[in-house]
């Protein structure tokens, strides 16, 4: 596992300090109420309906003893009720009482108000960027902790610029491909947009938990031949079946539209990509050394007969 540099660690800590201060969660009480931040979060978990103590603890990552003390205080204040679970009499379920809901309501109102004012201070485009950035943070930090939801969608405004940027940055970082590679990707993206034939062509953007992580395009070479292009995947999204799903979608589209074969061009050093294409049924049909992208490379042509 790679280690985080001190610079990156400090950047995360600075960000954490900044947003907790702006959201007003650093004081002893949460939003100037009688509850601490942790107590407010427990109330929030219970506001949606009955939960067991273990479910609340797991959701919030709380020590069982600490959570028990909070629940005891809530019980004494008659904010919660405890009843035996009808499914398992050895367990008890916890729910907010009417007084508990009354206590939670102003917390929710103040929290929404504080966040609303924070977000409303930004222009509409800034609000959208903020949410996109937050979704990315969530996806990155939870990539190895939860079951990921993979979805594919067709391209929309801005996607080709994103493909160019991430494709170029990724291949420069991992393989040392220079600006010539970025120029090539930009040309392919521009050509796709200028000559796009929706009936015969498609670009798919793969999303992981709602965050774009990769792409794949199928373009028309002639009436019987399609080309697979612009295939890439973010490193942190690998190993989850995203790339395979992109290729399968590409092949299914080609079959549906009566193409007889799919061609693609890649490099011999892109081992993971080559294995992916081979598993999908592509066959290596030709190689040619070249010195593009600032390196000596071996380009490969692969073909899938449909």
**3-state SS, one letter per residue, for the chain:** CCCCCHHHHHHHHHHHHHHHHHCCCCCCCHHHCCCCHHHHHHHHHHHCCCEEHHHHHHHHCCCHHHHHHHHHHHHHCCCEEEEECCCCCCCEEEEECHHHHHHHHHHHHHHHHHHHHHHHCCCHHHHHHHHHHHHHHHHHHHCCCCCCCEEEEECCCCHHHHHHHHHHHHHHHHHCCCHHHHHHHHHHHHHHHHHCCCCCCEEEEEEECCEEEEEEEEEEEECCEEEEEEEEECHHHCCCCHHHHHHHHHHHHHHHCCCCEEEEEEECCCHHHHHHHHHCCCEEEEEEEECHHHCCEEEEEEEEEC
d(C-alpha 161, C-alpha 205), whole Å: 12
pLDDT of residue 2: 67
Per-residue model confidence (pLDDT) at position 267: 96
The pLDDT of residue 1: 58
| % of residues, the chain, pLDDT over 70 | 95
pLDDT at 71: 93
Going across the sheet that includes 202-208, the strands are 150-154, 202-208, 211-222, 225-233, 261-267, 297-305, 283-290
pTM (global) more than 0.75: yes
Answer with the residue of higher pLDDT: 132 or 153. Answer: 153
Residue 99 corresponds to which tokens in the numbers above?
Answer: 């007084």
118 Cβ neighbours under 8 A, 6+ residues apart: 22, 23
Asked if pLDDT for residue 204 goes beyond 90, the answer is yes
Contact 155, 203 (CB under 8 A): yes
Q: For residues 244-257, give the mean pLDDT.
A: 97
Confidence at residue 254, expressed as pLDDT on a 0 to 100 scale: 97
Half-sphere exposure of 154 (CA within 13 A, CB side): 7
User: How confident is the model over 47-58, as pLDDT tens digits?
Assistant: 988 888 888 999
Q: Are strands 225-233 and 261-267 parallel, antiparallel or unpaired?
A: parallel
Percent of all residues in the chain with a pLDDT value above 90, rounded to a whole number = 62
Q: CA-to-CA distance for 133 and 234, rounded, in angstroms?
A: 16
Domains and CATH numbers, the chain: 6-121 (1.10.10.10), 150-305 (3.40.630.30)
Arithmetic mean of pLDDT over the chain:
90
């Amino acid at each position: 596992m790679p280690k985080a540099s001190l610079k990156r660690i400090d950047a995360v800590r600075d960000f954490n300090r900044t947003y907790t201060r702006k959201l007003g969660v650093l004081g002893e009480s949460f939003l100037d109420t009688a509850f601490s931040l942790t107590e407010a979060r427990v109330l929030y978990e219970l506001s949606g309906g009955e939960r067991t103590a273990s479910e609340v603890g797991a959701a919030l990552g709380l020590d069982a003893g600490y959570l028990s003390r909070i629940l005891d205080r809530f019980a004494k204040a008659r904010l919660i009720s405890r009843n035996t679970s009808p499914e398992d009499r050895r367990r008890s379920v916890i729910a907010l009482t009417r007084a508990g809901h009354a206590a939670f309501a102003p917390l929710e109102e103040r929290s929404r108000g504080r966040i609303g004012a924070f977000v409303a201070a930004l222009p509409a485009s800034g609000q959208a960027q903020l949410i996109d950035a937050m979704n990315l943070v969530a996806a990155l930090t939870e990539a190895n902790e939860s079951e990921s939801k993979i979805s594919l969608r067709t391209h929309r405004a801005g996607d080709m610029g994103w493909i160019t940027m991430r494709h170029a940055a990724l291949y420069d970082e991992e393989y040392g491909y220079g600006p010539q590679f970025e120029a090539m990707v930009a040309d392919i993206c521009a050509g796709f947009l200028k000559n796009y034939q929706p009936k015969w062509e498609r670009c798919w953007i793969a999303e992981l938990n709602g965050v774009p992580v990769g792409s794949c395009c199928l373009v028309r070479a002639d009436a019987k031949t399609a080309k697979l292009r612009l295939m890439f995947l973010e490193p942190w999204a690998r190993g989850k079946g995203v790339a395979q799903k992109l290729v399968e979608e590409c092949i299914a589209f080609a079959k549906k539209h009566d193409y007889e074969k799919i061609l693609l061009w890649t490099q011999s050093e892109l081992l993971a990509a080559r294995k992916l294409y081979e598993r999908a049924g592509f066959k290596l049909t030709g190689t040619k050394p070249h010195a593009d992208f600032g390196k000596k490379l071996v380009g490969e042509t692969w073909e899938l007969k449909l």
